[in-house]
Structure 1
Amino acid sequence: MKKPSTLKCLALGTLASAVGQDAHADFIKDSHANLALRNLYFNSDFRDQPGPAGQSKTAEWAQGFMLNYTSGFTAGILGFGVDAMALQGVKLDGGAGNHRGSSMIPDDGTGAADQWSRLGLTGKVRLGKTEARLGTLTPKLPILVSSDSRLLPQTFEGAQLTSNATDNLTLTAGRLEHATGRASTDRTGLAVTGGTRESNEFVFAGADYKVTKDLLVQYYAANLEDYYTQQFLGLQHTFALSEGQSIKTDLRYFDTDSSGANGGVSGRADGYRASGYTHDQSGEIDNRTWSAMFTYSLGGHALTGGYQRVSDGSNFVQLNQGSLPDKGAAGGGLYLFTDRMLTSFNRAGERTWFGQYAYDFVALGVPGLRASMIYLKGDGIKTTSSAEQREWERDFALDYVIQDGLFKGVGLGWRNASLRSQLAPAQDQNRLIVSYTLALF
């Protein structure tokens, strides 16, 4: 058995402190719990990349259970509470010939695991409009995005502080130590794609300021010990043209440089390196990435166009533990417009144009039905040879939430994507999703 982490012990201590106080009505009254059910069929056709025994396809089907509990806060100047999540996945199909790696279902050494589960606890403390959380976290921040694109979500362990003490300003800071992948039950240290050595410190801080109700500006800074330091600037603005008609502008800029061991030859040789093209094939992180996206909305229609430019020093990086020994730790989100089903268009030198059309059928009297299609084309990708490479991806999504009757609230989803790349195998993928959230109290 693994020794409990210091963070988890502290989280349990916070829970004990909360329970030890007088039971305040808000602690009970403001508590709620739900059970989220997700049934996912995942099919990938790798076409020209045979895997073990010539296998070139993955076809897996599993059921996920996500029990979430959120407490209120105890009485007093300092309010204490605790959140908890229990996650379990059950294989329905994914036997020999259908399972490949840990794309969705963990590999137990002989094939797809029959079931996998984990528990997360989070202690929390509130003072006025400031809240501290310690334990299991699922951050959605420009410098770190917890991925929820498979059966079970990716989680992190650490501490996060969020303050809304000043009107229109949200301050965020934190420190993370471990991650648990989407297809894993084991926590690991932290790394980037290509890194084989673990870091156990990711610190971050940032501010979101609403200049007006339609204008948001953001600044964040983060450091992954022995890998990189990253700064982010963002701007979001919505301009209303008329009733039901608007133009939204979203601008993003990242500046990422090597830090600690990644900045030295010996550190990179020891495993603190990034994959992909880098200057002199050194594995050193050195990247500037900027992007712009504009969305015109009219009634149920939304037409989007955008552009992204990745500098040629290295790939754009954020946390991804996929190169560590626990292959189930692979996969992570990137705060990029181009982070899609099959690739992220984040390679060194890559220039990406993209366009999307989305429609909400509520405008036609069919609430709950939505569809979207996006096409992305990247070129100028740097390689160790003189030739620059290119790639494209097309994604389609269709979602419907049943509005009434016996199955009210059941969500049905279909995801379809195709990737053609000169640097990665051609791939077609389909995902079928049935989801439902049951409120327990």
Structure 2
Amino acid sequence: MNKSTLALAVAMGVLAQQASAAGFIEDSKASISSRTLYFDNDAREGGADQRQTVTGLKFDFLSGYTQGTVGFGLDVQGMVGINLGGGIDNHSTTTANTVTPVDSDGTPVSDWSRLGGNAKIKYSKTELKVGNALAPNLPILVSNDGRLLPASYQGAIVTSKEIDNVTFTAGQLNREIGRASSNWAGIAAGGRKGSNAFRFGGADWKVTKDLTLQYYYAELEDYYRQNFLGLVHVFQIAPDQAFKTDLRYFNSKSDGKNGDADYSYKNGYYKDGGEVDNNTWSAAFTYTLGGHSLTLGHQRVSDDGGMAFLNNGSVVDGRGRGEGEGGTSVYLYTDIMYNNFTKAGENSTFGIYSYDFAKLGVPGLKATYTYVSGRDVRNTSGNGSYDEWEADYRVDYTLQSGPLKGLGFSARHATFRSEGVENFDQNRFYVNYTYALW
């Protein structure tokens, strides 16, 4: 047991002694979630294919807080994943595995599990969580849950709402475990060594009921420093009609040892051998009418290097991968099933159309189509460019009544084509269900 896990266990033990205090149990929630995933990735040029089926269970216990000026609580999370078949054949060079951990010979493990938790303290409208089951959902770090089990982080995060209409968030993380891993590691960013500290802070300010402004600062030690600015405005035209404007800007610069051999950041081409120097902006406009939703937008990545982000495997062979291929999501509309369109020089136009069939009397059914066209991507040498595109189709349905109310199904297909890298067709099918214990 490492020191951090031991410290967490001690904290859990102390808090458990207060479990009889009013609020700790009375306000607690517990649930068991199941997910089964069929994953099929077809490399069109004879590369590494993958076909695999896995299933998993996740237990969550979220306590309330003990009474008093300062309240104490505890969250516990346990997960297990089981490989039902498929994945890499260690005798073949044309298969791959990205859904489960692997043994030393490269074959997928039959099962894997982990147990974690967070001790939490609340004073007034400020909450501190310390542990190894943290899952941030912030512009500078979006924890990914795109495969079987979610990624988790170890460290501390504080959230404060002491000022009306403003939410402050700050923290430091020092370890991560990927969604297809059973081992904790330093926080990765494409280099040969992980960083020991990811520090961040920022605020979401709801200026009016329709306008939200965001600012966040993040620093991955020895890799990069990043500033984020965001604006979201919703103009309510009618009760079932609205127009949304979403503007996002990231500025990333080198930090510490970045550029050295062990800390060289790779996401496509880099002018100075892995030193981070990037600006990425996007503008998206969404019109909704009844069950229809249409988003059109544009995104631009500067020429000197790809966008910087925690990747935990998202950068493979110098190529930025999307939600499907990495362990961390990116807070961009272009982060879709296979690719994320964040390489140096990439100039992307995107569109998203979705329809909620509840308007036709079929609640729980929704269909979405996404298309992204990326142009002028600088190749890894910087002496040329290429274009790429991806089209995604998705249908989701959740049972609305009966003994299996809440059982959800999701079918997804992606077609990715590129002049610079391999082409892929990918299919996924999810079955999700969450049962509330209390």
Once the two structures are TM-superposed, the CA of residue 22 in structure 1 deviates from its matched residue by 7.1
Q: Which amino acid aligns with 1:33?
A: A
Is the CA contact 1:196–1:323 (under 8 Å) kept in the aligned structure 2?
A: no
Matches for 1:391-406 after TM superposition, within 5 Å = 391-406=388-403
Q: Which of 256, 262, 276 is the matching residue for 1:270? A: 262
Once the two structures are TM-superposed, the CA of residue 308 in structure 1 deviates from its matched residue by 0.3
Matches for 1:170-249 after TM superposition, within 5 Å = 170-193=167-190, 195-249=191-245
Pair 1:365 & 2:361 matched = yes
Pair 1:290 & 2:281 matched = yes
Deviations 1:70-115 (A, max 9, x none): 0011111111111011011011111564994441122113311100
Q: Which amino acid aligns with 1:402?
A: L
Structure 1 partner of 2:322: none
Matches for 1:246-257 after TM superposition, within 5 Å = 246-257=242-253
Structure 1 partner of 2:320: none
Q: Which amino acid aligns with 2:424?
A: Q
Q: RMSD of aligned C-alpha atoms?
A: 1.8
Q: SS at the partner of 1:321? A: coil
| TM-aligned CA distance change 1:168 to 1:142, over 3 Å | same
Q: Which amino acid aligns with 1:227?
A: Y
Pair 1:318 & 2:315 matched = no
| TM-aligned CA distance change 1:229 to 1:287, over 3 Å | same
Structure 2 partner of 1:411: 408
Counterpart CA distance in 2 for 1:216 and 1:421 is 36
Once the two structures are TM-superposed, the CA of residue 270 in structure 1 deviates from its matched residue by 3.3
Q: Which amino acid aligns with 1:217?
A: L
Once the two structures are TM-superposed, the CA of residue 323 in structure 1 deviates from its matched residue by 8.1
Once the two structures are TM-superposed, the CA of residue 12 in structure 1 deviates from its matched residue by 2.8
Deviations 1:272-306 (A, max 9, x none): 433420114x1111000000000000000001100
* Percent identity for Structure 1 against Structure 2: 45
Structure 1 partner of 2:67: 75
Deviations 1:169-192 (A, max 9, x none): 000000000010010110110121
Structure 2 partner of 1:4: 2
| TM-aligned CA distance change 1:365 to 1:67, over 3 Å | same
Q: Which amino acid aligns with 1:362?
A: A
Counterpart CA distance in 2 for 1:208 and 1:9 is 34
Structure 1 partner of 2:103: 108
Deviations 1:135-176 (A, max 9, x none): 120000000010000000011101000001111000000000
Q: Which of 52, 62, 68 is the matching residue for 1:60? A: 52
| TM-aligned CA distance change 1:365 to 1:279, over 3 Å | same
Q: SS at the partner of 2:16? A: helix
Counterpart CA distance in 2 for 1:37 and 1:155 is 18
Structure 2 partner of 1:341: 337
Is the CA contact 1:14–1:80 (under 8 Å) kept in the aligned structure 2?
A: no
| TM-aligned CA distance change 1:323 to 1:269, over 3 Å | farther
Is the CA contact 2:267–2:315 (under 8 Å) kept in the aligned structure 1?
A: no
| TM-aligned CA distance change 1:306 to 1:112, over 3 Å | same
Tell me the TM-score normalised to structure 2 length. Answer: 0.93
| TM-aligned CA distance change 1:116 to 1:59, over 3 Å | same
Counterpart CA distance in 1 for 2:330 and 2:14 is 36
Q: SS at the partner of 2:68? A: coil
Counterpart CA distance in 2 for 1:385 and 1:134 is 43
Is the CA contact 2:33–2:58 (under 8 Å) kept in the aligned structure 1?
A: yes
Is the CA contact 1:91–1:114 (under 8 Å) kept in the aligned structure 2?
A: yes
Counterpart CA distance in 1 for 2:57 and 2:356 is 29
Pair 1:139 & 2:126 matched = no
Counterpart CA distance in 2 for 1:229 and 1:150 is 29
Structure 1 partner of 2:321: none
Once the two structures are TM-superposed, the CA of residue 330 in structure 1 deviates from its matched residue by 4.9
Counterpart CA distance in 1 for 2:101 and 2:233 is 41
Structure 2 partner of 1:431: 428
Q: SS at the partner of 2:23? A: helix
| TM-aligned CA distance change 1:186 to 1:330, over 3 Å | farther
Counterpart CA distance in 1 for 2:314 and 2:261 is 15
| TM-aligned CA distance change 1:40 to 1:78, over 3 Å | same
Pair 1:389 & 2:398 matched = no
Q: SS at the partner of 2:157? A: strand
Counterpart CA distance in 2 for 1:73 and 1:206 is 25
Q: Which of 356, 374, 381 is the matching residue for 2:352? A: 356
Is the CA contact 1:18–1:74 (under 8 Å) kept in the aligned structure 2?
A: no
Q: Which amino acid aligns with 1:371?
A: A
Counterpart CA distance in 2 for 1:104 and 1:172 is 31
Q: Which amino acid aligns with 2:289?
A: L
Counterpart CA distance in 1 for 2:129 and 2:219 is 20
Counterpart CA distance in 1 for 2:314 and 2:348 is 26
Counterpart CA distance in 1 for 2:43 and 2:19 is 58
Is the CA contact 1:218–1:235 (under 8 Å) kept in the aligned structure 2?
A: yes
Counterpart CA distance in 2 for 1:176 and 1:235 is 26
Q: Which of 84, 96, 102 is the matching residue for 1:92? A: 84
Pair 1:40 & 2:15 matched = no
